[in-house]
């Protein structure tokens, strides 16, 4: 089912992001996570797509598993860096053949094994080009990514919003934010977006901090601020994984509660293919929230 239609029917809800298991042997463990989280009646679940399409086959297989084993609505991430129109046409036809009608259109990162990769080369340079390409099929509901603190490569917040508006205007039905930990950035982004006439649903991307060291490292690549107060609370439990995870749950619950107080109705959770942490967060927020 197209997610754009789901938003018309449901005025609040949650969604979950997964990544493809690294081997076929991970299928059963993955499906257990997906089935556990299906108990929360998510709007949809999405599956990531590696840099330069490096997980393409695994992404497709994972989407198929979910469709075969559950009633969940699925969305595939899709990157266009290094892709050709022919390759994307073939892939989109395959998605259509399997009833996968939701796409998160991303520019994507260059492949790590190609150090001299030129982002300016290729048939698709920006996410807006991919949105325009997918839109012409008249089959898919399309999402895009947005960046509350601005994309790392954008020269300014103003330019970042200009690029954001372009890809939304190309045909996006809704958007999902990159992870953020200070809600102030989200509120400021939403204010700027509203002034630019952006009206599509924008789901805040919630990343529970279960490994603070990795999150801080990842945040550095994503232009995401980790508040000092979070780091200070995490510091004493850096070497106690379960205590760190519990704190991560506490932070995420408080973040979501504040967002709800400010009128946010939809949430997108980055699960890291774990059901326990997200389940604790959703239960703490209560069924009325979703």
Q: Is the pLDDT of residue 125 over 70?
A: yes
The answer to whether 108 touches 51, Cβ cutoff 8 Å, is: yes
Give the model confidence (pLDDT) of 187-224 as tens digits. Answer: 999 999 999 999 999 999 999 999 999 999 999 889 99
Q: With contact defined as beta carbons under 8 Å apart, do 5 and 142 qualify?
A: no
CA distance readout (Å), 50 to 31, 39, 78:
20, 28, 9
The predicted structure's pLDDT at residue 138: 95
* pLDDT 10s digits, 6-34: 999 999 999 999 999 988 789 999 999 99
113-124 pLDDT, tens per residue? Answer: 666 666 666 789
Contact 20, 61 (CB under 8 A): yes
Answer whether residue 111 shows pLDDT above 70: no
Is 17 among the residues known to form the active site? Answer: yes
Among residues 17, 69, 188, 242, which one is catalytic?
Answer: 17
| Phi, psi (deg, nearest 5) at residue 270 | -85, 110
**In this structure, what are the phi and psi dihedrals at residue 79, rounded to the nearest 5 degrees?**
-105, 155
Beta-strand pair 44-47/266-270: unpaired
The residues that bridge with 266 in the sheet, in sequence order, are 13
For the entire predicted model, the pTM comes to 0.95
């Amino acid at each position: 089912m197209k997610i754009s239609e789901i938003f018309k029917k449901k005025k609040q809800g949650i969604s979950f992001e997964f990544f493809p298991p690294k081997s076929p042997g991970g299928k059963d463990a993955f499906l257990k996570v997906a089935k556990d989280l299906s108990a929360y009646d998510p709007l949809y679940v999405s599956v990531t797509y590696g840099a330069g399409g490096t997980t393409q086959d695994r992404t497709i297989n994972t989407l198929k598993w979910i469709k075969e084993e559950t009633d969940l609505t699925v969305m595939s991430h899709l990157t266009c860096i290094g892709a050709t129109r022919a390759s994307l046409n073939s892939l989109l036809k395959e998605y259509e053949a399997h009833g996968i009608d939701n796409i998160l259109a991303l520019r994507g990162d260059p492949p790590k094994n190609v150090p001299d990769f030129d982002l300016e080369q290729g048939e698709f340079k920006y996410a807006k080009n991919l949105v325009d390409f997918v839109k012409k099929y008249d089959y898919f509901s399309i999402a895009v990514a947005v960046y509350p603190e601005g994309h790392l490569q954008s020269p300014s917040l103003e330019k970042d919003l200009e690029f954001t508006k372009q890809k939304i205007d190309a045909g996006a039905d809704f958007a999902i934010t990159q992870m953020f930990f200070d809600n102030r950035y989200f509120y400021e982004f939403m204010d700027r977006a509203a002034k630019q006439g952006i009206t599509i649903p924008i789901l805040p991307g919630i990343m529970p901090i279960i490994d603070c060291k990795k999150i801080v490292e990842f945040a550095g690549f994503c232009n995401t601020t980790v508040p000092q107060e979070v780091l200070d609370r995490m510091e004493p439990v850096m070497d106690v994984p379960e205590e760190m995870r519990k704190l991560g749950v506490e932070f995420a619950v408080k973040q979501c509660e504040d967002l709800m107080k400010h009128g946010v109705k939809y949430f997108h959770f980055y699960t890291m293919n774990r059901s326990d942490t997200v389940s604790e967060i959703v239960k703490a927020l209560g069924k009325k929230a979703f």
